[in-house]
Chains A and B, each alone.
Chain A
């Protein structure tokens, strides 16, 4: 496992100490002007979406980006920082979603039942992550990948079959606590031309929780613990020889990542007021996460932000572009099929392969290199 993605370890001299921003970002600054600009733009746009765009689609897209930033960042902790490929990440995402959905649907739409659901989901995720880690992380990395794939598929089958609990293929729709419902008004007047209703509060709940979890993950990868993970990724044998218990560190990383994914799942369910196999558990979401991490940039955390934003935007808007292109090429054999709107994944897949070969640092690595 010595040749993991050629990523520079994040040590560098330009690190400044002190300063509020630097503190918030755990001294892991973007280190590229273009990257800083893009990240700032994404942050501002996400923070102000409800005030900038009207209609429900932009806000929905923004909420999805927030959730996926957390999900992808937590996956990056595994893939990019620890060099472990897990296919069970959607399982933890799903556990979070089902935790909220089942609690709110069964116990009632209150904050306390949401808290119970989330706590139960976190506990289940932690136990599962520890079990999988201890069973398979001590053998070889590929074992872990295959076993997580098997476990995740079993979880998906279970969720769709145990329909008494999970609602089966139909999933569960549920009511949110009153403060998050569209009918709720925080103020009687409008603020900046916008009615402050429960939907807006729900969006900001998603936004701020995502932000906090992302900053926490950034803190974790820049802590001594994160440094050990990177050392294990670079040279497992040497890290073990230095006295670090590789299995323990890897298991801890997979637990942290699972917990963050569970929170992301809970946010997703809260935002959609629904959870089902297709929104959180399906294998295609797993593939989406992989694409986002690699295209954004493995082992950078900021790659998660860019990857998620680019991917979700492409998912929502690239298809329109491709539809136009496909129509323009009508009449030529096969070509219109290749840029048919439904084939957008083909091109992202190709981009993914090229990324793995040519720029293992993804978009973020590219931008940082451009600066140097």
Chain B
């Protein structure tokens, strides 16, 4: 997160947009607040790392949705099906290369994970392109129809997954060397969660760099602010829209792979189950804000973990409580996106 602030040394001709620090401080504040309730510091570290990893996975699944909404003003209730599709796409790799998962070699295992991610992103990108063309394009501009039609797309695609891969849950093995945990004294960190943190951070930093340091990112941000003006300047905003939709679907596919290996079972409904969390996260973050989505994911996951440890019964509705509190504080989410 620090990379957003260090840039002020450059000789700025225009005043830089001020970074909104308050929501960022919320995460460490929450951690410190939880410490006395949790009691032992080592448990606290374990919970925090686990929460961070969970947050990263949620972020991977949610980032595409919030990006698509921010740029295209399209709310895709069918986003969850790309998560499921990405998860099922791992079967295309795990089928022929099942042996790689059993080898106890970190290189081969990570290569397998990488390959799964690549294939899944390819499949979901393709599906996203089709989905955009067939389902979403006719209803630009009407939220009501978007919600209905993308729900319809969700139903149909879920059923297609059933038709292709069968309706019963499919177990998938976590590669050998990613099982188990690193143990430092009393602190336990599951290996897979560490991998998830690394991948999540990489994607987040990559997205920030792409959005803030490249020409295409500039266009996307400009498109979020004022699409007509970007179009008037001679850029094909439609092409930009479609590529962002495809990228968003691919990100959901990536999230789906991570989520699938975490759950180690595939069901067609797994995407829709996690969508509730995804919606909560993007509402908390501010619809359309990638940074907000990142902070929101971590916040929700950490709260769920702490509350689950301190008062398990309350954990079931902790997400809703966090959302209600945030909305009371900032009705448009942590980082409200301009224009909306």
Q: Which residues of A contact B (CB under 8 A)?
A: 1, 3-5, 79, 83, 85, 135, 139-143, 145-147, 149-151, 153-154, 157-158, 161, 283, 287, 290-291, 294, 334, 337-338, 340, 342-343, 345-346, 348-350, 352-353, 356-357
Contact A146:B279 (CB < 8 A) given known A3-B141, A3-B142: yes
Give the interface segment out of B159-167, B209-217, B226-234: B159-167
Contact partners of B152 in chain A: CB under 8 A: 349-350, 352-353, 356
Give Cα A290–Cα B150 distance, bound, in whole angstroms. Answer: 12
Give Cα A251–Cα B319 distance, bound, in whole angstroms. Answer: 24
Contact partners of B282 in chain A: CB under 8 A: 146
| Contacts of B89-148 to chain A: CB distance below 8 A | 135, 138-139, 141-145, 147-148
CB-contact partner of B323 in A85, A145, A150, under 8 A: A150
Contact A147:B144 (CB < 8 A) given known A158-B317, A356-B149: no
| Contacts of B269-298 to chain A: CB distance below 8 A | 272, 275-276, 279-280, 282-283, 287
- Can you name the residue of chain B whose Cβ is closest to the Cβ of A146? B279
Contact A353:B143 (CB < 8 A) given known A149-B276, A161-B313, A338-B163: no
The reply to whether B163 and A343 contact each other, CB–CB distance below 8 Å, is yes
Residue B75 interfacial (CB < 8 Å): yes
Given contacts A1-B144, A4-B144, A350-B156, 16 further A-B contacts (CB under 8 A): A3-B142, A5-B145, A85-B148, A135-B327, A157-B316, A337-B164, A342-B162, A343-B163, A346-B155, A346-B160, A349-B152, A349-B156, A352-B152, A352-B155, A356-B145, A357-B138
The reply to whether B144 and A346 contact each other, CB–CB distance below 8 Å, is no
- Can you name the residue of chain A whose Cβ is closest to the Cβ of B317? A154
Residue B153 interfacial (CB < 8 Å): yes
Give Cα A29–Cα B77 distance, bound, in whole angstroms. Answer: 35
The reply to whether B283 and A143 contact each other, CB–CB distance below 8 Å, is yes
- Can you name the residue of chain A whose Cβ is closest to the Cβ of B280? A150
Contact A346:B163 (CB < 8 A) given known A135-B327, A353-B156: yes
The reply to whether B162 and A150 contact each other, CB–CB distance below 8 Å, is no
The reply to whether B316 and A290 contact each other, CB–CB distance below 8 Å, is no
Contact A287:B151 (CB < 8 A) given known A158-B316, A349-B156: yes
Could you list 27 A-B pairs, sorted by A, with CB under 8 Å? A1-B143, A3-B141, A4-B142, A4-B144, A85-B148, A135-B327, A142-B143, A145-B147, A146-B282, A147-B283, A150-B276, A150-B319, A157-B316, A157-B317, A158-B316, A158-B317, A161-B313, A161-B316, A334-B163, A337-B163, A342-B167, A353-B135, A353-B152, A356-B139, A356-B145, A356-B149, A356-B152
Contact A83:B144 (CB < 8 A) given known A143-B283, A158-B316, A283-B272: yes
Residue B320 interfacial (CB < 8 Å): yes
Residue B331 interfacial (CB < 8 Å): yes
Give Cα A291–Cα B164 distance, bound, in whole angstroms. Answer: 23
The reply to whether A142 and B75 contact each other, CB–CB distance below 8 Å, is yes
CB-contact partner of A345 in B145, B155, B283, under 8 A: B155
Q: Which residues of B contact A (CB under 8 A)?
A: 75, 77, 135, 138-139, 141-145, 147-149, 151-153, 155-156, 159-160, 162-164, 167, 272, 275-276, 279-280, 282-283, 287, 313, 316-317, 319-320, 323-324, 327, 331-332, 340
- Can you name the residue of chain A whose Cβ is closest to the Cβ of B138? A357
Give Cα A342–Cα B268 distance, bound, in whole angstroms. Answer: 14
Contact partners of A158 in chain B: CB under 8 A: 316-317
The reply to whether B142 and A349 contact each other, CB–CB distance below 8 Å, is no
Minimum CB–CB distance for B135 against chain A, Å: 7
Give Cα A83–Cα B323 distance, bound, in whole angstroms. Answer: 24
CB-contact partner of A290 in B141, B148, B323, under 8 A: B148
Contact partners of B283 in chain A: CB under 8 A: 143, 146-147, 150
Minimum CB–CB distance for B120 against chain A, Å: 21
The reply to whether B155 and A287 contact each other, CB–CB distance below 8 Å, is yes
Minimum CB–CB distance for B80 against chain A, Å: 11
Minimum CB–CB distance for B127 against chain A, Å: 15
Contact partners of B159 in chain A: CB under 8 A: 343, 345-346, 349
The reply to whether B272 and A346 contact each other, CB–CB distance below 8 Å, is no
Contact A353:B149 (CB < 8 A) given known A150-B276, A161-B313, A346-B156: yes
- Can you name the residue of chain B whose Cβ is closest to the Cβ of A339? B163
Give Cα A135–Cα B138 distance, bound, in whole angstroms. Answer: 31
CB-contact partner of A85 in B139, B144, B164, B327, under 8 A: B144
Contact partners of B313 in chain A: CB under 8 A: 161
The reply to whether B148 and A356 contact each other, CB–CB distance below 8 Å, is yes
Minimum CB–CB distance for B272 against chain A, Å: 7
The reply to whether A290 and B151 contact each other, CB–CB distance below 8 Å, is yes
Minimum CB–CB distance for A132 against chain B, Å: 10
Give Cα A290–Cα B147 distance, bound, in whole angstroms. Answer: 11
- Can you name the residue of chain B whose Cβ is closest to the Cβ of A85? B147
- Can you name the residue of chain A whose Cβ is closest to the Cβ of B279? A146
A157, A334, A349, A357 interface centre (most CB from chain B within 10 Å): A349
Contact partners of B324 in chain A: CB under 8 A: 135
Contact partners of B155 in chain A: CB under 8 A: 287, 291, 345-346, 348-349, 352
The reply to whether B162 and A5 contact each other, CB–CB distance below 8 Å, is no
B167, B276, B316, B319 interface centre (most CB from chain A within 10 Å): B276
Minimum CB–CB distance for A254 against chain B, Å: 15
Give Cα A352–Cα B155 distance, bound, in whole angstroms. Answer: 10
Contact partners of A337 in chain B: CB under 8 A: 163-164
- Can you name the residue of chain B whose Cβ is closest to the Cβ of A286? B151
The reply to whether A142 and B147 contact each other, CB–CB distance below 8 Å, is yes
The reply to whether B163 and A141 contact each other, CB–CB distance below 8 Å, is no
Contact partners of B148 in chain A: CB under 8 A: 85, 290, 294, 352, 356
Give Cα A83–Cα B162 distance, bound, in whole angstroms. Answer: 32
Contact partners of B142 in chain A: CB under 8 A: 3-4
Minimum CB–CB distance for B140 against chain A, Å: 10
Contact partners of A340 in chain B: CB under 8 A: 163
Give Cα A283–Cα B154 distance, bound, in whole angstroms. Answer: 13
- Can you name the residue of chain A whose Cβ is closest to the Cβ of B321? A154
Minimum CB–CB distance for A105 against chain B, Å: 22
Give Cα A345–Cα B323 distance, bound, in whole angstroms. Answer: 33
Contact partners of A290 in chain B: CB under 8 A: 148, 151
Give Cα A333–Cα B279 distance, bound, in whole angstroms. Answer: 38
